[in-house]
Amino acid sequence: MSRTSRKREHIEHALTTGQSGTHGLEDVKFVHNCLPDIDYEQVDRHTTIGGLALSSPIVVNAMTGGASETYTINQSLGMLAHEAGMALAVGSQMAAIKDPSLVETYRIARREHPHGILFGNLGAEATPEMALRAVDMIEADALQIHLNVMQELIMPEGERNFSGALRRIEAIVAALEVPVIVKEVGFGMSREAAEKLASCGVAAIDVGGRGGTNFARIENMRRTQPFDILNEWGISTAVSLLEVTQLEERIDVMATGGIRTGLDVARCLALGASCVGMAGAFLRYAVHGEMQEAIEYVRGLHKELTVIMTALGASSIPSLQRVPLVVTGDAYHWAAQRGID
């Protein structure tokens, strides 16, 4: 199976049965504030991640590049990020590191988003030299390193040796001048993993929680003998946020995994995330070239978030991060057993 046809299959399945499960955010309840003492017009949605200033707390997260049809997808996503004032991540650049003729399928994102925040992306098998090339390739403002152990294990042609990842991440952090963001791809992140990443100098983590695009299902659809028992593997987005937002060593957190509405965004920020990432929700628009609809969707998300911030009396993202919350259901029981306040 070539890397190119794998990418095509990922996109095809991500648009169909590859979306599943629950992100757990329904267990997170806001305490309504009937005296918010705030003006809707003054609500400020600016935020920061890893020292980078973002005008929207919604990031178009890593998806693609490499295969020929991904050129137009990255072009559309670049246009969307530019028009809606969002940061954008390209998909794994390993294809272009191995075959430089593919560089344009990533660089188009920078051309469409010339002054915006752009994240590069590689896996934890990358060397510092590859990381430098990935950043140069698209003039990236930060580099994402993805962790996708369960996806690789279910993928028939996937990697089986995961030793040394933390050491390589540490070397990449030391070699780059831009911040490094370590992300999961939909199986979530524990406090223990986040602590290790924080201690090796990573600027931010993206929990990439269970509840949205499901790479266990996607890879199982590509297998002749599926490993279906693993289809619901992972830590939900809500629970991942509970896990990683109370580390002693502070680290910025991005929340990805099934984010679809302004209420999802608000709940993630209130749980302590600095911004959210969305991938699957934007893919359909990009594949079908419906970018005006995508821009309207993002405007709607911004409006929903602003309404919720107003109702809660939170005039900025830092004040939203401090509003009172009640955690119920599975997330409550998880937090209690794991000793999370």
Q: Which residues bind ligand FNR (CB under 6 A)?
A: 10-11, 14, 61-64, 91-92, 121, 144, 146, 183, 185-186, 208, 212-213, 256-259, 278-281, 283
| DSSP 8-state code for residue 101 | G
When CB distances to ligand FNR are compared, the closest residue is: 212
Contacts of residue 288, defined as CB under 8 A and 6 or more positions apart, other chains included, come to none
Least CB distance from residue 49 to ligand FNR, whole Å?
Answer: 15
Residue 30's closest CA among 276, 330, 340, 321? Answer: 321
> Closer to ligand FNR at the Cβ: 24 or 280?
280
> Closer to ligand FNR at the Cβ: 198 or 259?
259
> Closer to ligand FNR at the Cβ: 50 or 208?
208
Least CB distance from residue 313 to ligand FNR, whole Å?
Answer: 29
Residue 326's closest CA among 28, 35, 73? Answer: 28
Please say whether the beta carbons of 120 and 96 come within 8 A.
no
Please say whether the beta carbons of 285 and 292 come within 8 A.
no
> Closer to ligand FNR at the Cβ: 14 or 140?
14
Least CB distance from residue 80 to ligand FNR, whole Å?
Answer: 14
Please say whether the beta carbons of 302 and 293 come within 8 A.
no
> Closer to ligand FNR at the Cβ: 10 or 302?
10
CA distances (Å), 336 to each of 296, 310, 323, in order? 40, 31, 20
> Closer to ligand FNR at the Cβ: 140 or 259?
259
In a 13 Å sphere around the CA of 44, the CA atoms on its Cβ side amount to: 10
Least CB distance from residue 123 to ligand FNR, whole Å?
Answer: 8
Cα(120)–Cα(145) distance, rounded to whole angstroms?
A: 8
Least CB distance from residue 160 to ligand FNR, whole Å?
Answer: 19
Least CB distance from residue 182 to ligand FNR, whole Å?
Answer: 10
CA distances (Å), 7 to each of 2, 222, 283, 286, 287, in order? 9, 12, 13, 15, 13
Least CB distance from residue 172 to ligand FNR, whole Å?
Answer: 14
CA distances (Å), 127 to each of 121, 136, 144, 159, 180, in order? 13, 14, 13, 16, 13
> Closer to ligand FNR at the Cβ: 67 or 314?
67
Please say whether the beta carbons of 210 and 236 come within 8 A.
yes
Which residues, listed in sequence order, are joined to residue 182 by a DSSP beta bridge? 145, 205
> Closer to ligand FNR at the Cβ: 116 or 257?
257
Least CB distance from residue 321 to ligand FNR, whole Å?
Answer: 21
